[in-house]
Amino acid sequence: MSWIDSDNALRRDFRFTDFRQAFAFMTEVAFAAEAAGHHPNWSNVYNTVSISLTTHDADNTVTAKDRNLATAIDQIYFRYA
């Protein structure tokens, strides 16, 4: 599955074997987001992490910041897959 560009945001759900793995993924994404100075809207229910990326200071549209963070998130996810 890849990122979906809808409603001025990039969206993707990530599934893991359990909550512990999902939480570890979120921790790594948090460090990547902080380093990029660009933070996701996200939620977690058991083994699923849902992420939405939009650039608030660009009138809530998708920008290069979102696409770059999405690429970084994908690279983190592929280590778990």
Nearest to 20 by CA among 44, 50, 51: 44
Q: Which domain holds residue 53?
A: 4-80
**How many structural domains does the chain have?**
1
Per residue in 3-48, pLDDT (tens digit) is 999 999 999 999 999 999 999 999 999 999 999 999 999 999 999 9
Whether this model's pTM surpasses 0.85: yes
pLDDT tens by residue, 39-56 = 999 999 999 999 999 998
Reported in sequence order, the residue ranges of the chain that DSSP labels E, i.e. its strands, are 4-6, 9-15, 41-45, 48-53
User: CATH number of the domain that 30 lies in?
Assistant: 3.30.1360.20
